Structure 1
């Protein structure tokens, strides 16, 4: 639930909607000034739940209404009509309480592109200080890293020989080992660093929110569902939220900060009459402020899972498929916070190019010493590895819009995966690249044999058909309230909503283009930069 600090009535300086990745950072930074009264509203519960903290617990948090919004995508033509489970964290810490824990900034070029799209202050040299600001890197201070911050970055606590064999095999084809994925150029291979402390998940609730909850000027309410923003003309004055069967109004003296994520932030704007008139009219919502870009520009990383059986190698499949093996795994974690229960979903990664003329990598591999038919299914009873690969910069663009005025109904989430010809070409190239790497001499002792998509998929048509059956999201939605100055932009470079005062959006939805890597730490950076801008503006005399 909440902290038990004194209440400040229903008037606050800042109201933060969403206690997830960004919201926890904002709550910490804004309440650091005792003059600021801050309210944080989170629809989910506390992160005081054991599966949040045990790294392998993501398997039990996804698809669990205790921690997940339980969303699904619309059927996707590019995925042969399949609808995908679309997890979103509904808990303090948001997606950092349920995600893969991989610490990744993306590429310097990602942010330079943001700046080139009309967003001054968002280039690599502008955002790097905000990555560094909160970082607590296991190696301490260096040119590219810092120690002592709130956002812990650790080495993983176990290794797998089969993954080192994959690394040696990839090197035969020009994918060389890389010491650091986070210096602005992530090309190469290596073992992911993770947001953990001593083998336990580290989320933004632990790092940022919990220390701030000791302050008397921060009020945190869980199980508080924000229904709409309150407007007076073109000024957002507060929010209406539901909690404990009652409706409440909270008013903001300075600003409302929408940090509900790439799916729920546009939903709340639309429920408040802010968005595309055609969408609002369809549901009988009065248009308070027309904005064509709300809910548009949805981007995500689609991952293709390939599976290979292996010999002469230890994998989690064989370890976990016996009572003795399971007992040993539990003992390893109980005694030393190590072993498979401390694993991130992916341990080893590679960044490379789908074709040689590209300036920077457009493919990310997540390689795992295990295999299943799909996420959440039992492990296969034979030794195998999963070599997943995703297109980092998809051209397929989707949208997310409300389906009704019912707060409990999820939006209509349409990613339009593989609708762009370029994305289909990258998918083909990535499968062929995986197959090439698996023929490496370094892997010969393991005799890898493809079982997914399968050796019968030879023609381009067969491969694309199989991709439609096996590809899945890795849960990186962004872009639905994009930053910029064009007609489709929702927020400006200070993250203020165009045409309105008293409202900013601070989460993954503001990304104009998806970053070339995992998205959690870029959202922490966005919140750090937003907090600085908000506090700087507050210091300027009216």
Structure 2
């Protein structure tokens, strides 16, 4: 059954854009503090990794948004900047036009920077502020929820004493240092600002725009006897349907499912396709490879009794929830206006900055460099190219190798260290979480189809910590992060001496930190790179205009094209990629 023909057919309804269900009326997608309640439900694909040998054989939950707006409807709303060095590395990998100077305008175009009155500067830990992108008031609204919370000032002052005070506007001077992070939360309504309500809702009544929800894309359709995309086939209302494209097919299904669609359609490694009886349209070995993701590890500490945290809400105490809902409904204020993540820091591994530490890191990197004898074909060039970028970032003290954040309240996403299943048992009292993120993992994995069934989940193997460099760097960061709990003035918000929320999270030494990482590490939900933007001769999948190599009229626009993850959250970068893609598409087709 052919539905109709369009100029452009977009497969995917996520942050970048057939789609999942419409969650626009779901209150949990609107109220910032309720993001955790969406996980595992109908708005979540609820993927999981294969068992990870370097995480004690655990399977890691990989939550991804399943609905209009994709993961922007269930993320923690952190709107963090990239660093200029990492964006410049995209260009150095052979992607002309994807350096910071070229991409910055598309970051600006995607969001509106908030105005901050001078009276709020001190509580935010900044010395000055100016709205930087007045000329491009972008769709995504950003703000500083809970702007007067004491964690913001204490965080900034603590890192300044340690020599890591960030520029007041890290978006434009991104390097190392601490800052209050923006949230994708509207400053007036105090509701989540996401792809569906900010990009789609204002134009949903256009006659030339049709959205088909609850549809599963089965494969891309090609012109007979050629590698020219002409549409997609999908399953909708128990029926197989086809939609044809006069100009382009655009895949925007995310890093875990865009490679799945390509492989089901005959684009990928011919050996994998043959295993599942799929005819090869284009032999492209890079499809599904180079999966990168950032791990996060949390350290919880008992907080002072007067510190406002989300713990009563996390414990679902009826009176606390009732009062918080009443305040939010009446005034759009209070603890429900935020996910609880208010502060960030981009950091080098402190002890590795010393002469001896730096030499140890150089030796570690050299000893674990990808070797030709361990790889085949294009894998060699691709692996060495990516490793070179990571190596440069790790050895440069002006570039972060880790990211730190604070979260107001105990971690409600705790999992059993053996099974990986969520077994959260809330603790009494108040807690403050300090979490560390491995910002530049050298380990890369893969995602591939397990069968020719479009309804089957892909096999996801991030190969977390498979390169020994990662756990060494991560452990150094976790020890430094733990020391912050005793550092004033941040330590003044905690019971002293610091008391871990759970005894297991006391890190005695470097080996203890490594063991804790293996037990507690979880995904930051930042999968990327599985359809990397790279030249084809080093294993790339799309070119610098996001067109699939060797396939006509087929483009990919989502996190799968990101060759190297930025250090902070991926949300802002996916919006920038989508904005640039829109500009590329319009310019190529003479559209306004």
Tell me whether the two structures share a fold, i.e. TM-score over 0.5. Answer: yes
2:170 corresponds to 1:181: yes
1:157 equivalent to 2:146? Answer yes
Counterpart selection for 2:30 from 20, 28, 53: 53
Name 1:245's counterpart in structure 2.
238
Matches within 5 A, 1:104-115: 104-115=80-91
Report if aligned partners of 2:5, 2:246 keep a CA contact under 8 Å in 1: yes
Aligned-residue offset at 1:157: 3.5
Distance (whole Å) between structure 2 residues aligned to residue 324 and residue 412 of structure 1: 43
SS for the counterpart of 1:12 is strand
Structure-2 residue corresponding to 1:33? none
CA 1:459 to 1:498, structure 2 compared with 1: closer, same or farther past 3 Å? same
Equivalent-residue separation in structure 2 for 1:272 and 1:58 (angstroms)? 34
Given that residues 453 and 466 in structure 1 are in contact (C-alpha distance below 8 angstroms), is that contact kept between their aligned partners in structure 2? no
- Find the residue that maps to 2:529 and give its secondary structure: coil
1:453 to 1:534, Cα distance in 2 relative to 1, 3 A: farther
Q: Which residue of 2 aligns with 1:460?
A: 510
Distance in 2, matches of 1:529 and 1:373, equals 36
Q: Secondary structure at the match of 1:515?
A: coil
SS of structure 2 residue aligned to 1:168: helix
Distance 1:504 1:147 in 2: 26
CA offset digits 1:143-167 (Å, max 9, x no partner): 4565532121122135432454344
1:515 maps to which residue? 566
2:213 corresponds to which of 208, 219, 222: 222
**Residues in 1 aligned to 2:293 and 2:171: alpha-carbon distance in whole angstroms:** 20
TM-score of the pair, normalised by structure 1: 0.90
State the secondary structure of the residue aligned to 1:416: coil
Moved more, 45-54 or 321-330: 321-330
Superposed CA offset, 1:288-333 (max 9, x none): 2111100001011101111112335424255445443332222221
The equivalent of 1:38 in structure 2 is none
Hey, what does 1:18 align to over in structure 2? 12
CA distance in 1, matches of 2:153, 2:147: 12
The reply to whether residue 102 of structure 1 matches residue 78 of structure 2 is yes
Contact 1:304–1:388 (CA<8 Å) still a contact in 2?
A: yes
Whole-Å Cα distance in 2 between the matches of residues 492 and 514 of structure 1?
17
Structure 2 counterpart of 1:384, from 409, 415, 431: 431
> Structure 1 CA distance, aligned partners of 2:510 and 2:159?
23
Contact 1:163 1:368 in 2 (8 A): no
320-329 or 291-300, which deviates more: 320-329
Structure 1 regions of 5+ residues with no counterpart?
1-7, 24-40
In the superposition, relative to structure 1, how do residues 201 and 256 fare at CA in structure 2: closer, same or farther (>3 Å)?
same
After TM superposition, the structure 1 = structure 2 runs for residues 317-336 of structure 1, keeping only pairs within 5 Å, are 319-320=312-313, 322-336=317-331
Aligned to 2:45: 69
**What is the match of residue 500 of structure 1?**
551
Residue correspondence of structure 1 range 91-490 to structure 2 within 5 A: 91-139=67-115, 142-143=131-132, 146=135, 148-162=137-151, 164-176=153-165, 178-197=167-186, 198-232=189-223, 233-316=226-309, 319-320=312-313, 322-354=317-349, 355-356=352-353, 357-372=396-411, 374-375=413-414, 377=424, 379-445=426-492, 446=494, 447=496, 448-451=498-501, 454=504, 457-485=507-535, 486-490=537-541
Q: CA deviation at 1:228?
A: 0.2
> 2:167 touches 2:173 (CA, 8 Å); kept in 1?
no
Contact 1:156 / 1:192 at 8 angstroms: preserved in 2? no
Q: Which moved more, 1:104-113 or 1:468-477?
A: 104-113
CA distance in 1, matches of 2:167, 2:217: 44
Is the deviation greater in 153-162 or in 73-82? Answer: 153-162
- Retained in 2: the 8 A contact 1:169–1:438? no
Contact 1:135 1:146 survives alignment (8 Å): no
- Deviation of 1:188 after TM superposition, in Å, equals 1.9
Q: How far apart in 2 are the matches of 1:316 and 1:443?
A: 15
Q: CA contact under 8 A between 1:370 and 1:379: conserved in structure 2?
A: no
Which stretch shows the higher mean deviation, 453-462 or 511-520? Answer: 453-462
The answer as to whether partners of 2:440 and 2:567 remain within 8 angstroms in 1 is yes
* Secondary structure at the counterpart of residue 37 of structure 2: helix
> What is the DSSP-based 3-state SS (H/G/I as helix, E as strand, rest coil) of the residue aligned with 2:218?
strand
Tell me the number of residue pairs that the alignment of Structure 1 and Structure 2 aligns. Answer: 515
CA distance in 2, matches of 1:396, 1:252: 38
Distance 1:184 1:255 in 2: 37
* Cα pair 2:443 2:467 within 8 Å, conserved: yes
Distance change (3 Å), C-alpha of 1:352 and 1:144: farther
In structure 1, distance between residues paired with 2:481 and 2:63: 27
Report the secondary structure of 2:290's partner residue: coil
TM-score, normalisation: structure 2: 0.83
CA positional deviation for 1:538? 0.9
Matches within 5 A, 1:22-41: 22-23=16-17, 41=18
2 CA distance for matches of 1:524 and 1:169?
32
